[in-house]
Structure 1
Amino acid sequence: MDKTESIRQNPPSPPGSPASSLLPDTRNLGVWLRIMLGVNALTMVAALIKAHHLMDWPWVFIQFAAFVEPLLLTALPILATGRDALRRLPPRAAQGAVLLGVMMLTVMLFDFWRFFGMTEARADELARASLLAAAGTGVMLLYFELRARAFPKAVAEARLQALNARIRPHFLFNSLNAVLGTIRRDPKRAETALEELADLIRVLMRDARELTPLSDEIALTRQYLDLEKLRLGERLQVEWHIADVPGETRVPPLMLQPLVENAVYHGVEPLADPGPVRIAFSRDDDAIVIAIVNDATPQAAHSSGNRMALANVRERLSLHFDLEARLDAGFETGRYVVRIRLPVTVPH
């Protein structure tokens, strides 16, 4: 399995292609939503400037929207289709190509409408419309560029919050105690446990701006559960159900382990009897669904530690995948379920 870490919000660009840091991912639903909201907001402002009276503004906006919406709904699929080609260009060249493409598309739409007698726009009006379309596109490109430059800082801040929430002294203390208790009766197992603990701490301290293969996240969680098995023994019962999911798909690091740790902490530790933890993966079209199921009381489910862990994982999913990923948690048929849905993102 390729262990190369890859992407932030978008799949990786070919080497030497910095355009990916400036251009939005036009295959992302959240990006489409932001572009449509932003362009329509700019259209409202333009209509307000154009209208002679406030009462005329709705009619002027409708006239502008009749031109803007077809242009927008034509440009977005074209940009999504040509996204890989644009990402091979230098950043400013890619932005220039987008601006030029929008202006050309504006001219083509005017010609289409003129051919069917839907407009009688003069050449100066066509030029003005093309420049306005380019200006609106430039504003949106600037917005996404500023957002892309701010993204690593936002991830770093979320990472610090995740570290503060997830490096639990009780976990490290209990894991070391479990290892110490194993040294005399099984030295080789104790040595393996120390190596697993070192790997876990190394991942905890790793940079979180890059996504990691799902297979690595599963392996890390298995290592964590091996450590907990030393401490909890037969009380910890883990069921893994991994269906047809690609192990190379990229996920935020430490997405799974903190949630499984929560399941152990709230669903196994307080119980005298064995506590089952079920971790299931399934494929749903172009998405992966992960479900973590455990026994827990409502008080444990609403504890501050549990809420903080869920909030941190939810925030990192949002930072990396925008609206295409979600995390839900709650009780289903008497058991506590955390369910993650995220897109399949495989590097090319």
Structure 2
Amino acid sequence: MIPDKLPDTRNLGVLLRSIVSVNLLAFLFAISASDSFASGVQRFVENAALLEPSLLLVLAVLASLRNVLANLSYSQGVAASVVLAVFTSLLVRKGVADLYPANVFAYIRAGGSALCLSFGLFGYFRLRGRALSPLLAEARLQALQARIRPHFLFNSLNAVLSLIRSQPRKAEQALEDLADLFRVFMAENRDLVPLAREVSLAGQYLGIEGLRLGERLQMEWHTERMPADAMVPPLILQPLLENAVLHGIEPSITPGIISINIFCTRDELHIDIRNPYFREGGDHHAGNKMAMGNIRERLRLHFDAEANLKTMVGTDYYQVHLTLPYRPAKDARHDHNTPTLPRR
């Protein structure tokens, strides 16, 4: 079982779920404690004047201390977060005492509400994380099955065999790259990995495909603004490039260009992949569904509502655009240097 982790209080999905959950509970409490629905709504609106500032400030404090809390064990992190939530709520209650006079029972009520709501939210996110754990494992298995395609292995081995006598060093390098690829395919691939590793892996994959496709496979890398230390789900580039080769390069006898543009703006990581598109006799969408669905699922599991994948079909191109939150690796320098890539 995957160990329990504190919810990421900088994640948009976590923030929205927290705000909606707390307000829904406050609304239900106001309705149940009132004689009529109208009076319950009025009571909720009045309570919101105290609830919303406290809730937003608590979330802001937890978000600002996210890295500190993440270094604690799960139980320690929960305890520290609850203490911060209660303390912050009491400070807010004291700050609005001039507008809303309070006695000792008002402070007890504010602290008690923060205590109960905090434990309730952490319990909810813990159950949600455990419920999603099997989905993450299933997504990993699906990724493994989708990545190890027999035709790629057979084609790669045939390409290597054709080079053994004429270019033994090139054949040896290709076998090493193939071994590296399958080592990653067979790994657990559960945690986020540095983007530099994914780009390097993608370069190895395209190098192997280039052995059999030759000049038909042309690459354009635009990684001048790529944050190499960004953390991304493993095997997120290779399946997209495999689809680009399968549907954009193989159907044509003329050279085709796969363009890869990776950059970071406003704490968002963007990955854009474009390949040729042939409308005649192609089942591009059917062939792409497995990879796209799998990547969307893994983005949702890792980043919730903060990441998305979009596709676009032009007159002669197919484009995939991924948007992820920029999460630098812990203890890593913000190195934006580009890894060495194969150029054709």
TM-score (norm 2): 0.89
Which of 326, 329, 332 does residue 344 from structure 1 map onto? 326
Q: Are the aligned partners of 1:300 and 1:306 in contact in 2 as well (CA < 8 Å)?
A: no
Residue 142 of structure 1 and its aligned partner are, at CA, apart by: 0.8
Q: Which residue of 1 aligns with 2:205?
A: 224
Whichever residue aligns with residue 313 of structure 1, its letter is I
Higher relative contact order (CA 8 A, sep 6+): 1
Question: For 1:105 and 1:202, how far apart are their aligned partners in 2?
Answer: 48
Q: Which residue of 1 aligns with 2:57?
A: 74
Q: Which residue of 2 aligns with 1:140?
A: 121
Residue 300 of structure 1 and its aligned partner are, at CA, apart by: 4.1
2:76 corresponds to 1:93? yes
Report % sequence identity. 45
Question: For 1:167 and 1:317, how far apart are their aligned partners in 2?
Answer: 20
Residue 85 of structure 1 and its aligned partner are, at CA, apart by: 2.8
Deviations along 1:108-151, whole A, 9 cap, x unmatched?
2222222x2x2233322331232122111111011122233444
Give runs of aligned pairs for residues 78-157 of structure 1, distance below 5 A: 78-114=61-97, 116=98, 118-157=99-138
Q: Are the aligned partners of 1:156 and 1:208 in contact in 2 as well (CA < 8 Å)?
A: no
Residue 252 of structure 1 and its aligned partner are, at CA, apart by: 1.0
2:31 corresponds to 1:54? no
Whichever residue aligns with residue 103 of structure 1, its letter is V
Question: For 2:66 and 2:290, how far apart are their aligned partners in 1?
Answer: 37
Question: For 1:127 and 1:283, how far apart are their aligned partners in 2?
Answer: 46
Q: Which residue of 2 aligns with 1:26?
A: 9
Residue 160 of structure 1 and its aligned partner are, at CA, apart by: 1.0
Question: For 1:99 and 1:62, how far apart are their aligned partners in 2?
Answer: 25
Whichever residue aligns with residue 305 of structure 1, its letter is G
Q: Which residue of 2 aligns with 1:13?
A: none
Instruction: Out of 219-228 and 57-66, give the one that drifted further.
Output: 57-66
**Partner SS, residue 241 of structure 2:** helix
Question: For 1:309 and 1:229, how far apart are their aligned partners in 2?
Answer: 21
Whichever residue aligns with residue 328 of structure 1, its letter is K
Cα 1:342–1:191 change in 2 (3 A) is same
2:316 corresponds to 1:334? yes
**Partner SS, residue 280 of structure 1:** strand
Residue 103 of structure 1 and its aligned partner are, at CA, apart by: 2.3
In structure 1, list runs of 5 or more residues that go unmatched.
1-7, 9-17
Q: Are the aligned partners of 2:227 and 2:264 in contact in 1 as well (CA < 8 Å)?
A: no
Cα 1:90–1:213 change in 2 (3 A) is closer
RMSD: 2.0
Residue 292 of structure 1 and its aligned partner are, at CA, apart by: 0.7
Give runs of aligned pairs for residues 1-348 of structure 1, distance below 5 A: 21-114=4-97, 116=98, 118-298=99-279, 300=282, 302-332=284-314, 334-346=316-328, 347-348=330-331
Question: For 2:246 and 2:256, how far apart are their aligned partners in 1?
Answer: 11
In structure 2, list runs of 5 or more residues that go unmatched.
332-344
The count of residues paired between Structure 1 and Structure 2 equals 328
Question: For 1:106 and 1:250, how far apart are their aligned partners in 2?
Answer: 34
Q: Which residue of 2 aligns with 1:14?
A: none
Whichever residue aligns with residue 329 of structure 1, its letter is T
Residue 301 of structure 1 and its aligned partner are, at CA, apart by: 6.4
Q: Are the aligned partners of 1:155 and 1:208 in contact in 2 as well (CA < 8 Å)?
A: no
Question: For 1:100 and 1:171, how far apart are their aligned partners in 2?
Answer: 54
**Partner SS, residue 240 of structure 1:** strand
Cα 1:193–1:209 change in 2 (3 A) is same
TM-score (norm 1): 0.88
Question: For 1:281 and 1:98, how far apart are their aligned partners in 2?
Answer: 36
